[in-house]
Amino acid sequence: MEEGKMEQEKIILATTSPSRREAFEFLNIPFTAEGSKVEEKFEQRSNSPKALVLCLSEIKATAVAKKHLEEQTFIFGFDSVGFHKNKILEKPANKAAAKQRLLNLSGQKHSFLTGLTLLKTGGGRVEQLDQRVVETEVKFRELALEEVEQYLNKDPHFKTYALGYNPVAFVSSSFIEEINGSPTNIMRGIPLNTAAEMLSNFGLYPAKEIKPKIVICASSAFRKEMVEYKAKLKELGLTAIVHPLYEEVVKGEHPDFLEKIKTEHGAIKREYGFVQWYFDQIKTADGILVLNLEKNGVNGYVGVNTASEMLFALYCKKVVFLLNPAQIKCPSYDEVMASTDLVLNGDLSQIKERLTKKF
C-alpha cells in the first residue's frame, strides 16, 4: 500500500431495500448489501416497537455476519415499523388493509421507528458495537378517499413499505404535513444522521481516502487481459474489479469452465451469477472500462453481455470508458456508440484524470 493511502473498511448493509441502499450512498463510503432472509414473524415477539426494531435489526445483521465470520467486516442491520394509537404498523397484507390504514392516519400523528445494529466480524467471532433506535413523528394532512384509492392503484409496491405508503413518490408524497425528527428515517428508512454518528465512533466515517473504483468489462475470451489491466489500473492508484472467476481461471483453476463456456455460454453465466455480479458492482462503481480487443477477426470486439453492462452503467450514470475505437463490424456497434464517446486509445491515464475530479 502506498504511503499515506488508507483502505476503507469493508461495510455490508444487511438489507435488500433499494431506498436504504440509495440513501447510504449519500455518505460517500464504499459498501455492499446482502439480504438477511430471516423470518420476521415468530412467537414471543415484543409488543414494544422500540424493542421489536432493535431485535429484528440485530437478527438481520447477525444472519449476514455469520457468512463473514473469518474476515473483518462491519455489518449494519436495520428494521423499521410504524406506530399509531398503541399499535405496531408493519407492511400491509393487501390493498384493503392499506386503504383502511391510510384513512385511519388521515389528519393524525404517527411514528416511524428504525432500529440500527452495527456488528463487527473477524476471527470466527461476531461483536456487537452499537445499537440505536430512532423515532420520527409525522403528521398527515386530511386525506380524501379518492386520493388514497388513486395512490394504491398507482403504486404496485405499497405492500413493501412498513407504513404502507411511499413518502417520496406518487400522490402519497403529499400526505405528510409535518415531520419531527430525522427526515431520512421516514423518507428512506434509514436515519443517516444516526448512521453517520455510529460509524464515526469506530473510524468508519467520514470516508478515508478512497480510490475511484472501475469495473473491467469484456468478453470472457479476454480474461487474461482483464487481469493485466486490473494491475495497470492499480499502478495508477485506482481500484479495479474483475470477476473473481476470471482471475481464478487465469491462475489455472476451474479447467472445465473453458470447455463449458464454448458450448453452454448462457447456462454457465447463470450458474456463476455473472449478470447479477456485474450489475451489483457497477451500481457501486465510479465507472467501467470496456476492453474491446480483437476477436474472431473483429477489432474492437464487444459482445452482447458487455454491451448490456455498458448500457446498465449508462443508466446508473457511471462513466463508460472504451479502450479502443468502436468498429462498425462489432456485433454490438449501435449499443457501444449509444453508451459512450470516451475512447482512451490505450491511454489509461485519462481514467484517473476524469475520475479523480470527483474526490
pLDDT at 1 over 50: no
The answer to whether 79 is a known catalytic residue is: yes
Q: Tell me which residue of 327, 346, 285 sits closest to 310, measured CA to CA.
A: 285
What mean pLDDT is reported for the chain?
91
Amino acid 50: pLDDT: 97
- Spell out the alpha helix ranges (H) of the chain: 18-24, 49-65, 95-105, 145-154, 183-188, 192-200, 223-235, 244-250, 255-263, 265-271, 274-283, 304-315, 333-339, 349-355
Q: Phi and psi at residue 263, in whole multiples of 5°?
A: -110, -20
Q: Which of 79, 130, 155, 256 is catalytic?
A: 79
pLDDT in tens, 137-148: 999 999 999 999
276 vs 77, residue with greater confidence: 77
pLDDT at 48 over 70: yes
Q: Which domains does the chain have, with CATH numbers?
A: 11-200 (3.90.950.10), 213-358 (3.40.50)
pLDDT > 70: what percent of the chain?
96
Place of cell 448493509: 13
